[in-house]
Amino acid sequence: MTNSMNSVKARWAAQMRGMFPDARLKKDRGTEMTYEILPRDLHQILAYLKNSGWRQLSMITGVDWIEEGQFELVYNLFDWEQGLRVLLSIRIGRDKPQVLTITNIYAGAQYYEREIHEFFGIEFIGNEDALKSLFLERWDALPPLRKDFDSRAYSDKKYVKRFYDPVYGPQGGAPFERS
- Residues making contact with other proteins (CB under 8 A): 132-133, 135-138, 140-141, 144, 149, 151-152, 154-156, 158-162, 176, 178-179
Nearer to other proteins, 125 or 142 (CB): 142
**Do residues 149 and 155 make contact, with C-beta atoms less than 8 angstroms apart?**
no
Q: How far is the CB of 69 from other proteins (least distance, A)?
A: 23
Q: How far is the CB of 152 from other proteins (least distance, A)?
A: 4
**Do residues 136 and 144 make contact, with C-beta atoms less than 8 angstroms apart?**
yes
Residue 119, phi then psi, degrees to nearest 5: -90, -20
Q: How far is the CB of 169 from other proteins (least distance, A)?
A: 16
Q: How far is the CB of 134 from other proteins (least distance, A)?
A: 8
**Do residues 120 and 71 make contact, with C-beta atoms less than 8 angstroms apart?**
yes
Nearer to other proteins, 128 or 137 (CB): 137
Nearer to other proteins, 43 or 146 (CB): 146
**Do residues 33 and 86 make contact, with C-beta atoms less than 8 angstroms apart?**
yes
CA within 13 Å, CB half, 146: 17
Taking CA atoms, 160 is separated from 1, 142, 154, in Å, by: 54, 20, 11
Nearer to other proteins, 96 or 157 (CB): 157
Q: How far is the CB of 67 from other proteins (least distance, A)?
A: 22
**Do residues 88 and 75 make contact, with C-beta atoms less than 8 angstroms apart?**
yes
Residue 108, phi then psi, degrees to nearest 5: -70, -5
Nearer to other proteins, 59 or 134 (CB): 134
